[in-house]
Structure 1
Amino acid sequence: MFTIGICDDRPLCRQLLEAFIHIYEEEKGFLFDIHQFGSGEELLEELNKHSMIFDLLFLDNSMKKLTGLETAKQIRQSDSMSTCSIVFVTSADDHDQFMQVQPLQVVCKPGTQEHIDAILDKVLAKKA
């Protein structure tokens, strides 16, 4: 099972991304295991407590306490999550700041179905 995490402090943003993923599932005949998180802290706690491993993470950067970038730095330090593909979905203009954690991609909010389809195609091809 391919596991995807969506981390954004705005529920509507999480729901929109999940809707894009569900459309992809229907079109391509895939089924993903999708988990939503309202903060970087919540995501990291889930990783630590339940030893979850995600194949793909969508991270918002502007969240209340921990930013997406700070969350990604901690994730990159974890051996079990070192191969996880990270996509930043952000309204930030400075995309260079994210390069230190080697994201698969940086998408401007809110993203489009085409962006999400291309990202999912890319990570599934890598996993095949």
Structure 2
Amino acid sequence: MFTIGICDDRPLCRHLLEAFIHLYEEEKGYLFDIYQFGSGEDLLEELNTQGMILDLLFLDNSMKKMTGLETAKQIRQSDSMSTCSIVFVTSADDYHQFMQVQPLQVVCKPGTQERIATILDKVLSKKV
């Protein structure tokens, strides 16, 4: 099973991304495990305590306490999550700051159905 995480402190943004992913599932005949997280802290706790491994993570940068970039740095240090593809979905203008954690892509919020579908195509082609 292909596992996707969505981490954003705004529920509406998480639900919109999940809706884009569900449209992709319907169009392509896939079924993903999708998990939502309201903060980087919640995400890291779930990964550390439950041993969850994500194949793809949509990550907001501007969150209340820990930023997406700080969260991504910790994820990159984890052996079990080292192969996770990270996509920043952000309103930040400075995309260069994210390159240190080797994101698959940086998407300007809120993203589009087409953009998310292209990302899913790319990640799934690597898994096959």
Output the TM-score relative to the length of structure 2. Answer: 1.00
The root-mean-square deviation of aligned C-alpha atoms, in Å, is: 0.2
What whole-Å deviation, never above 9, does each CA across 1:105-128 have from its counterpart, x for those lacking one? Answer: 000000000110000000000111
Name the CA distance, whole Å, in 2 between partners of 1:68 and 1:59: 6
User: 1:35-114 maps to which residues of 2 (within 5 A)?
Assistant: 35-114=35-114
User: 1:1-40 maps to which residues of 2 (within 5 A)?
Assistant: 1-40=1-40
Count of matched residue pairs: 128
Name the CA distance, whole Å, in 2 between partners of 1:101 and 1:79: 14
Runs of 4+ in structure 1 off by over 3 angstroms are none
Deviation at 1:2, TM superposition (A): 0.1
The 3-state SS of whatever aligns with 1:79 is coil
Name the CA distance, whole Å, in 2 between partners of 1:106 and 1:73: 15
Name the CA distance, whole Å, in 1 between partners of 2:23 and 2:3: 16
The 3-state SS of whatever aligns with 2:93 is coil
Name the CA distance, whole Å, in 1 between partners of 2:48 and 2:84: 15
Output the TM-score relative to the length of structure 1. Answer: 1.00
What amino acid does structure 1 have at the position aligned with 2:99? Answer: M
Q: Which runs of 5+ in 1 are unaligned?
A: none
The 3-state SS of whatever aligns with 1:54 is coil
Name the CA distance, whole Å, in 2 between partners of 1:126 and 1:89: 21
